[in-house]
Amino acid sequence: MSSVARVRNALHESVSGLPRAFWWLWTSTLINRLGGFVYTFMAIYLTVERGYSASYAGLVAALFGLGGVLASLVGGVLTDRWGRRPTMFTAQAATAVAVAVLGFVTHPVAIAAVAAVVGFVNNAARPAVQAMLADLVPPEDRVRAFALNYWAINLGFAVSSVLAGFVAEYSYLAGFLGDAILTMACAIVVFLKLPETRPERPGKGPREDEVGLRTVARDGRFMAVVGLSFLVALVFQEASVGLPITMGQAGFSPADYGSAIALNGVLIVVLQIPLTRFIQHRSPGRLLVLSSLLAGYGLGLTAFADSMAVLLMTITVWTLAEMVNAPTQTGLVVQLSPVRGRGRYQGVYGLSWSAAALVAPLMAGAMIDHLGAGWLWGSCAVLGTVAGAGYGVVLRTTKKAGDPGPASRDSAPVPAPLTPPALGPEAGPEGLDIQAPAPGTGRPTPDVTTS
């Protein structure tokens, strides 16, 4: 078989067998990320265009993160109570409006306040997206599906980073408005094409409140994973604020930063699918240890980057970490989540990233202003090391325990919808349970009851 034929077969195997509704969710994700101007260029906009300090840029990013912290919990509860589809649609439509407003405000207090609103409504959709994806895709395909969705995120990111860098040199307002238009287009796709997948509630007895936030907080294994995810998120979030600021201070233009950070998206677009085929049957614990170390030390090397070539090398290293961590971590969270509590579990997991988005900008801004960028990149190496060690301990303990966790991890089959209904709760496919590791793989064996 020729190399071209092998590549074609590998690509077919990577994308085949997934439900049509998944591809509409994938499409909405791609459209949303094509408009990813605000998060990518906010720090440069505030420090270069508006002339504010790195500390103020960090404060605004932290308020964006604070909105995300609240949204993770609220969005998770709404996902389970109200439904996946209405939560996604409402949050994305509100995000479009808020981003457009952010482009017009100029007072520092107004910028900070609107940024907090954007952070809230933007992050409120995330638990619903993750829960819907888990509902739509059978357990054996979830790592592949999460990797493909992550691939869409970065395909959009790679394109938008380059284009938005040049747009920013012409007009930052055009970037904000373009982001708002594409986000609204994403909301329209959700409204017109996606079904509701929330599992039906039991007719009698305890309802969904049996899997409340208190249940999640008492799940020790899951909360340990959330804590370690917070450390890894700190590494990436510090970079998202620190890298554009340090490049700006070093004399690089917004277009330089856009081109450099686009390498992250390009690498993921090119390598995520073949890399996922390589890692999907390997030990999640080892993969998370490896990705934590690569992220920490990849960003740590930025302290020695004195040219664009070295910067591109460091971006390559931590991008590999990102490609391994994202589908592995998300798949693990789904495995640890009960089917009727997926929204809340995804919300609490998202809290780790939202909290990092709150803390990291303050840390990054303060370190750059008072200690220098070298301390920032050194802290990334330390955090990556601690997270890697933690994953090694926690997931080794989890694998040996073989405990399915909360009794509410339900595997009763629930039929999947075939056509998009009106906004509101409908039936959807169910989840999986955690059993003992599969012989010879070290991975949890999914208990598949339906597809």
Whether residue 37 is contained in a domain is answered as: yes
The domain tally of the chain equals 1
Window from 9-18, 85-94, 229-238, 318-327 with minimum mean pLDDT: 9-18
Instruction: Give domain status of residue 410, yes or no.
Output: no
**Cβ 355 vs Cβ 322: under 8 Å:** no
**Residues 301 and 314: beta-carbon distance below 8 Å:** yes
Tell which wins on pLDDT, 396 or 356: 356
40 found inside a domain: yes
Least confident of 216-220, 385-389, 406-410: 406-410
User: Is residue 206 in some structural domain?
Assistant: no
Question: Rounded distance, CA 101 to CA 118, Å?
Answer: 10
Return d(Cα 263, Cα 266) in angstroms, integer.
5
pLDDT tens figures, 202-254: 554 545 445 666 777 777 788 888 889 899 998 888 877 788 877 777 777 77
- What is the domain extent for residue 168? 18-199+220-403
Considering the domain boundaries, does residue 28 fall inside one? Answer: yes
In this structure, is residue 73 part of a structural domain? yes
Number of other CB atoms surrounding residue 13 within 10 Å: 12
Q: Give the other-Cβ count within 10 Å of 402's Cβ.
A: 12
pLDDT in tens, 136-187: 888 777 777 877 887 788 778 777 777 777 777 788 888 889 889 989 998 9
Give the model's confidence band at 7: pLDDT under 50 very low, under 70 low, under 90 confident, else very high: low
CATH code assigned at 250: 1.20.1250.20
Q: Rounded to the nearest 10 degrees, how much is the dihedral formed by the CA atoms of 291, 387, 26, 445? A: 80
User: Is residue 211 domain-resident?
Assistant: no
What local confidence, expressed as pLDDT, does residue 353 receive? Answer: 81
Q: Is the pLDDT higher at 34 or at 339?
A: 34
